[in-house]
Structure 1
Amino acid sequence: MKTVLFYLMTILSVGLLSCDRVEGLQPEEGEISKATAALIADRFPDAANVTFRTIDKDRLWEARFEQGAVSYYAGLQTDKILAVHRLLGSSVPDSVDRIIRSNIPVARTGQLSDYRQELFIEGDTETSRYRAMLSVDGNEYLVKWNFNSSASNGKTRVQIAMHEYSIFEFDTDVRTEPLPPALKAFQDRTQYVVVKLKTKVLDVNKMHFHFVPENRDAAMILDSEGVLIGSYNFIEGYNSFDELPLLLQVRLKYFGTQNYQTSVFSGKFQEDNNTGYRILTWSDTVTADFFFDQNGGWPSFSYALAVNL
């Protein structure tokens, strides 16, 4: 389970986050700035019991707070809110639990917890999807889903995705915002020029950077230690399940994808002093995209499907 989280700042009342009182705050080095703390008060003027935690020193923070009877979680950058979650409870509804377990084989023996609604603000429109933590065999994954009532046959369609666990994610406009230090160092020592970037925040000081290089269509993945964990520059390709290294066959069986089609976009990469594998498989309803390290671990993956209810 996740390490107990220690918050770096004491609980702040709504009054403390008002403009006048924020001016009086003197955060220590490594804590949140007054301007960043004020983002919560500006967006949620009735927020109470606000706490902050540093995720990446001088770059990223998280906040937890209440507004009315609802609890919230937010991911913050120095000048903007990156993500907002409405905290819905410790367990998911039974109806959702059944849908996830019946459609994701690895979830059948696991436990779903930390039920949340991800909120997105697009102009004056608020849209959402849901998420929960899946704990199984000592590992933690992220499961997301949303419902769509516009299926062609009139039935409700649910889209489900499972990934490595992350607490929030966000896009960066690399034209106007600086690259994270690890990714900037990678760009400086290689021929790649980053043109798109999505960051998945896994935990304190632990991130995955999904970036698209110039003149490329597919994203590569670098972790916050500067290790390249996902590449498409293969030194060896695979066209079927039987061609995969035995350890990877075992891993795919664990996820129940051993009978899926294996894409020609699967192979072994060896780049920037690291070796790994990208295996893309699919069935009629599921697309599964795995990045394995040379020991068969799966630092990054996606498992996506859509079903009609």
Structure 2
Amino acid sequence: MTLYITHPACLEHRVTAGHPERPDRLRALEAALSTAPFASLQRASAPRASEDAVARAHSQAYVEAIARRTPQEGLVQIDSDTTLSPGSYEAALRAAGSVLLAVDEVLQGRTRNAFCGVRPPGHHAEREKAMGFCLFNNAAIAACHARDIYGLDRVCIFDWDVHHGNGTQDIFWSNASVLYCSTHEMPLYPGTGARSERGEHDTIVNVPLAAGDDGAAFREACDVVILPRISDFKPDLIILSAGFDAHWRDPLASLNFNEDDFAWATREIMTLAARLCDGRVVSVLEGGYDLEGLACSAASHVATLMEAT
């Protein structure tokens, strides 16, 4: 069984006119997952994460600063890409709450896997810094929850967003219990993610791709580097930072994946998870800024998750 978790508050994170990370992203996702093939998809509403839960990945001072800077009206610009609106703090807490619920449901055996369709995304958010459309690092919060609340020894995060997850790398740079693996286009925002960036315990695995690379290059990166490293690490849980902006339609990058590539990667991760950690997979939406590309890619991802028995 696959659990889909979202919350209408995630639509209330407002951005500037023309911004690619807009509420319509979730509307497109919801429309795709409301069609007949997803009739059996289990659904849940994201709870509101506590500040303490968020502060497992960020500092308490940082969490409080985001709350304090959230305006009563209008927009506050954190940087050229990242804004706070009156609904942003609640949206970010619901996005974080979605991954907490997903980890709870998966680790307690009530569902085999889960997909969190939420915004704002998270993988650029560092321990002490919001950037790149991101406020709280949802994948990192999920990993910390699994480790700190459930006592898991090893958690893997696989990030296939077209942009490097500098925030996740920052949070777990010195942590031997979390393996962070990333494929991403280089050079591209935020400029991190070189192969030489390996972390203090060799638990950071970066596989940069070049502009114009297609799904074949992605599959080779997975087969040759990512999947073997995950297999050797033997995680107790696999978390996916599921960005779909490597799709050929996406306006913010120059990779040429299609929806079948995301389905393939999902299936490969599910096969590994079945062997290593009783099939336990938690996926959370990151990027994807062409509405059609996002909708078809995420639908293929979720449909593949639903294949789990």
TM class by shorter-chain length?
under 0.3
Which protein is bigger by CA-based radius of gyration?
Answer: 1
Task: Pick the structure with more strand per residue.
Answer: 1
TM-score after normalising by structure 1: 0.27
Q: TM-score, normalised by structure 2?
A: 0.27
Structure holding more helix per residue = 2
